[in-house]
Amino acid sequence: MNESEFIFKKKIQCDLVSEWTSPSNIALIKYWGKQDLQIPKNPSISLTLSNCRTQTRLTVSPIKKYKKKISFDLFFDGNLKPEFNKKVEQFFFRISKYVPFVFDNHFKIETKNFFPHSSGIASSASAFSSMALTIVSLERKFNDDMNDEQFYKKSSFLSRLGSGSASRSIFGKIALWGESEFFSKSSNLYSIPLVEKINPIFNDLNNTVLIVDDQVKEKSSSYGHDLMNSNPFSFQRYEQAKNNIGRIKKVFKNGDLDEFIQIVESEALTLHGLMMSSNPYYLLLKPNSVEIIRRVWDYRREYKYPVCFSLDAGSNIHLLYPSRYKKVIKEFITNELLNFCKDKKYIDDYMGSGPEKIK
Ligand code: DP6
pLDDT digits (tens, 9 = 90+) for 122-143: 689 999 999 999 999 999 999 9
CATH of domain 3-198: 3.30.230.10
Q: How far is the CA of 19 from the centre of ligand 1 (A)?
A: 24
Atom 3 of ligand 1: nearest residue by CA position: 221
Q: How far is the CA of 26 from the centre of ligand 1 (A)?
A: 10
Q: How many residues are given for the chain?
A: 359
Q: How far is the CA of 173 from the centre of ligand 1 (A)?
A: 18
Where residue 233 falls among pLDDT bands split at 50, 70, 90?
Answer: very high
26 bridge partner residues: 47
Q: How far is the CA of 221 from the centre of ligand 1 (A)?
A: 6
Atom 4 of ligand 1: nearest residue by CA position: 312
Q: Which atom of ligand 1 is the closest one to the Cα of 311?
A: 1
Rounded Cα distance, 166 and 127, in Å: 8
pLDDT digits (tens, 9 = 90+) for 269-314: 999 999 999 999 999 999 999 999 999 999 999 999 999 999 999 9
Ramachandran area for residue 55 (φ above 0: left; ψ -120 to 50: alpha; else beta): beta
pLDDT digits (tens, 9 = 90+) for 82-97: 888 999 999 999 999 9
More confident residue, 111 or 121: 111
Ramachandran area for residue 272 (φ above 0: left; ψ -120 to 50: alpha; else beta): alpha
For 106, phi then psi, to 5°, come to -100, 140
pTM above 0.95, yes or no: yes
CATH of domain 206-350: 3.30.70.890
Please list, residue by residue across 213-241, b when 16 or more beta carbons sit within 10 angstroms of its beta carbon and e when fewer do.
Answer: beeebeeebeebbebbeebeebeebbeeb
CB-defined site of ligand 1, < 6 Å? 27, 30-32, 38, 44, 124, 163-165, 221-222, 225, 271, 312-313
Q: Which atom of ligand 1 is the closest one to the Cα of 25?
A: 17
User: What residue spans define the domains of the chain?
Assistant: 3-198, 206-350
Rounded Cα distance, 29 and 31, in Å: 7
166: which residues sit within 8 A by CB, 6+ positions away?
Answer: 124, 125, 126, 127, 128, 129, 132, 159, 160
Where residue 7 falls among pLDDT bands split at 50, 70, 90?
Answer: very high
- Ligand 1 pocket mutation, candidates 165, 278, 318, criterion most atoms within 8 A of CB: 165
Q: How far is the CA of 104 from the centre of ligand 1 (A)?
A: 31
Q: How far is the CA of 16 from the centre of ligand 1 (A)?
A: 31
> Is 99 buried (19+), middle (13-18) or exposed (0-12) by CB count in 10 A?
buried
Cα–Cα distance list, 159 to 81, 126, 130 (Å): 20, 9, 8
